[in-house]
Chains A and B, each alone.
Chain A
């Protein structure tokens, strides 16, 4: 069986690629090789049984190969865990998905990914937002009917308070996202935001910028931290462009 690590363009300078591959080893020490067609290639290695690679050390070995290659070449990382039966099947896959692969390579060419996570002290933030809003936590719409104090009304009142608190938080998180966007607007960056992963991890961002913009990005994040002292910013990277190649390569029978 053949395990695929990454998809990448292969053209005249295949020597450099082959040299790099000869210096690396795949999972279980297997040799790495390229299966290519029409200037698109898949980095692959043989694997004896798919069960044999089911552990964490293999995942890390796999990621290491992608990482090392990505330092020198533009590539699309393949999610861990897919193998194919033959080189012929890989060739078919590359032919059928050529346009999509080329498009995606174009998007990430010369760029690197960074992860930005924003953390808060959830309880403290929620208290602050409540104070700031200055809005009466009583429910105006239903406070009028004193003679109607039923259990259902109280239920709605409680739910409404939770709802308003959530709205405040969402508005706040959006305002932080706007700040991040403004701060990154000097770059030609692609960003993906995920809100409220957990109560304290309020924002998860994947950022794609040009390789040479790394230092400037770090400075921008430092500035953001100064602007938002109540939050904690964590920037990781550079990563291969994992978060920016979320397409599915189709390979159906003809």
Chain B
């Protein structure tokens, strides 16, 4: 395994951990003047991107070459 692979994967895992925190934890604001992001769409988009990065990692693992990086 190349060193940058290890680095990229570690960073992806870090980002998953970070997203879990910033989307699911922290102070929650509520009330009539709070305007909330349509979090469903937001998170779905986030998840799709995340999963595609997991797929990329899977491909790396199985030895398929990905050009451009």
Contact = CB atoms under 8 A, between A and B. Distances in A.
Contacts of A252: 31-32
B4 interface: no
A85 B26 contact: no
Which among B22, B42, B46, B49 has the greatest number of chain A C-beta atoms within 10 A? B22
Given A7-B27, A54-B45, A249-B30, A59 B38 contact: no
Contacts of B36: 50, 81-83
Given A81-B36, A236-B14, A251-B32, A54 B21 contact: no
Contacts of B49: 56
Contacts, number: 129
Contacts of A80: 22-23, 26, 37
Interface in A222-251: 236, 239-240, 242-243, 245-251
What size tier do the contact residues of chain B reach?
20 to 34
A202 interface: no
A84 B31 CA distance: 10
A130 B30 CA distance: 48
B29 interface: yes
Contacts of B30: 248-251
Given A56-B19, A82-B37, 5 more contacts: A56-B45, A76-B26, A246-B26, A249-B31, A251-B29
24 contacts: A50-B36, A50-B38, A51-B37, A54-B37, A59-B23, A59-B46, A62-B22, A66-B22, A78-B26, A79-B22, A79-B23, A81-B37, A82-B37, A84-B29, A93-B29, A104-B27, A115-B17, A239-B21, A242-B22, A245-B27, A248-B28, A250-B31, A252-B31, A253-B32
4 smallest beta-carbon distances between A and B, as pairs:
A251-B31, A79-B26, A81-B37, A242-B21
